[in-house]
Amino acid sequence: MKQEPTAKSTRPAHLATTSLQAASDSSRAKGADGQPPATQQAGASLLYWPKTLAGAPRYIFDGAADALRPIFLPDFTRQPADPIHKILKFLVIGRIPVGPRLAAWLTGFEGWKELRRVRPTDRFMADGVTNPRTLQAIAWILPEAVRKYNYFNNSLRFALPGKDIGALMDRMRHMGYHLITFDPDDAASYHLQLTEQFYRDPAVLPQPGASTMSEASLSAIPTHAEAFFCGENKGRRADLGRLQQTLEAAGLTCRFIIVDKPSQYISYDEYLRHLSACQCLIDWVQADQAGITRRPIEALFWQKKLITNHKALLQADFYHPDNIFIVGHDEAARLPQFLQQPLAPIPASVKQRYDVNHWLGYLR
């Protein structure tokens, strides 16, 4: 299942680099091209990561510690929009080894040239890339000793219906990629490394250049509801409508933003404003969803009650019946009591497992 976009994305092309060792305070300063300073690049082990960072992802990674903070460079893994570049990529990329300059010329993405920066001691992360020829072209360019990862933040059985996923994963492993997922079913079925879903501590102060909510944007947002949902329709409108009726009958004001087309997305700043002001966050997953999506982790870090249909959360280490109401498991008559009950505190040691800094520690 795709991780739902809760905010409109401008989808800029970026490639993230992350230092995996302690850096000096000067490591925050970036050049005009977004590169880390030469002193950091010379001494630190960097993780190069094709990653579109806008909206929620940018907010999350802005909460990373200095030693792990992403630095963005141009992306090159997308499908070219230009027909000529699209044809040239199809004919050459991943079929025969080419250098980064020629790959840039063939695809129209200058980001390929950034691979010349990668040293044998560095690391590389592909962001859920499923095109094996793109991965092969990258592997041919990178120094052989570079540790390569591919992180799938979408459930593969939903993202690749009808595909031989096992064979595709084996092909990636043969290229030298270490495969990571948040989905326990995918991990078990296709022998991937399982990691937690991750978020950030909202109390961490924003860094220079981080996305923040301006006073103008905050004042433009209408009065907030006690129960809040924002996500794509995905055939769930009827279920969400019935849930909204139930909650309103229990006395809650609701704001459900069910997205059917791109023009209906809201910015992540606005999403966070609604989230910070609500009492309950709504999480409604598709059938057979196994991995924990971002919404329960948002509720955990923002200290909000969660109403969900995801029964797998009963096994989560942060589950507490005073904090999480599971439709189809909890009796509907218990809902008023659930809403009135104070939040149960969750140990900091449990929250830490879902912090972005903990997750970045897997990539060493």
User: Could you report the average pLDDT of every consecutive run of 10 residues in the chain (364 residues)?
Assistant: 44 34 31 34 66 80 81 81 95 96 95 91 90 96 94 89 94 97 94 94 64 45 74 87 89 88 86 90 86 94 95 95 94 90 95 94 84
Asked whether residue 82 is domain-assigned, the answer is yes
pLDDT at residue 48 in the model: 79
Asked whether residue 5 is domain-assigned, the answer is no
- Cite the beta strand spans of the chain per DSSP E: 15-19, 46-50, 70-73, 123-126, 147-152, 177-181, 193-194, 227-232, 254-259, 280-283, 305-308, 324-326
pLDDT at residue 280 in the model: 93
Specify which residues 230 forms β-bridges with.
Answer: 257
Helices (H), 62-99: 83-92
CA distance to 136, 173, 175, 218, 268, per residue, from 132 (Å) = 6, 11, 9, 43, 32
CA distance to 6, 153, 156, 358, per residue, from 286 (Å) = 16, 16, 14, 28
pLDDT at residue 233 in the model: 86
pLDDT at residue 23 in the model: 31
In three-state secondary structure terms, 168 is: helix
Asked whether residue 206 is domain-assigned, the answer is no
Name the burial class of residue 269, with classes exposed (0-12), middle (13-18) and buried (19+) by CB atoms within 10 angstroms of its CB. middle
* CB-CB contact of 357 with 64 (8 Å): yes
Overall domain count for the chain: 2
pLDDT at residue 71 in the model: 66
Tell me: do 276 and 227 sit in the same domain. yes
pLDDT at residue 55 in the model: 84
Tell me: do 249 and 110 sit in the same domain. no
pTM, rounded to two decimals: 0.78
What is d(CA 170, CA 297) in angstroms, rounded to the nearest whole number?
A: 31
CB atoms under 10 Å from CB of 42, counted, come to 9
Tell me: do 188 and 221 sit in the same domain. no
pLDDT at residue 225 in the model: 77
Tell me: do 142 and 219 sit in the same domain. no
Asked whether residue 134 is domain-assigned, the answer is yes
User: What DSSP state is assigned to residue 286?
Assistant: P
What is d(CA 357, CA 65) in angstroms, rounded to the nearest whole number?
A: 7
Tell me: do 96 and 174 sit in the same domain. yes
Q: Which residues contact 294 (CB under 8 A, 6 or more apart)?
A: 3, 4, 6, 56, 197, 199
What is d(CA 354, CA 151) in angstroms, rounded to the nearest whole number?
A: 16
Tell me: do 118 and 248 sit in the same domain. no
pLDDT at residue 18 in the model: 36
Tell me: do 125 and 244 sit in the same domain. no
Phi-psi region of 328 (alpha: psi -120 to 50; beta: other; left: phi over 0): left
Tell me: do 189 and 219 sit in the same domain. no
Which of 195, 230, 257 represents a domain boundary (last residue)? 195
pLDDT at residue 148 in the model: 95
Tell me: do 55 and 177 sit in the same domain. yes
* CB-CB contact of 301 with 202 (8 Å): yes
* CB-CB contact of 9 with 51 (8 Å): no
Asked whether residue 8 is domain-assigned, the answer is no
Tell me: do 148 and 256 sit in the same domain. no
- How far, in whole angstroms, is CA 32 from its chain's centroid? 26
Which of 143, 162, 195 represents a domain boundary (last residue)? 195
Whether the CA torsion 256, 259, 262, 267 is positive or negative: it is positive
Tell me: do 167 and 286 sit in the same domain. no
pLDDT at residue 46 in the model: 75
In three-state secondary structure terms, 177 is: strand
Asked whether residue 339 is domain-assigned, the answer is yes
pLDDT at residue 281 in the model: 94
Which residues constitute the domain of residue 324?
Answer: 215-352
Specify which residues 46 forms β-bridges with.
Answer: 19
What is d(CA 162, CA 156) in angstroms, rounded to the nearest whole number?
A: 11
**Amino acid, res. 4:** E
Asked whether residue 54 is domain-assigned, the answer is yes
User: What DSSP state is assigned to residue 251?
Assistant: T
Tell me: do 58 and 25 sit in the same domain. yes
What is d(CA 72, CA 301) in angstroms, rounded to the nearest whole number?
A: 25
* CB-CB contact of 39 with 24 (8 Å): yes
Q: Which CATH number goes with the domain that contains 322?
A: 3.40.50.2000
What is d(CA 47, CA 26) in angstroms, rounded to the nearest whole number?
A: 18
What is d(CA 265, CA 175) in angstroms, rounded to the nearest whole number?
A: 38
The helix (H) or strand (E) run that includes residue 71 is strand 70-73
Which of 195, 229, 247 represents a domain boundary (last residue)? 195
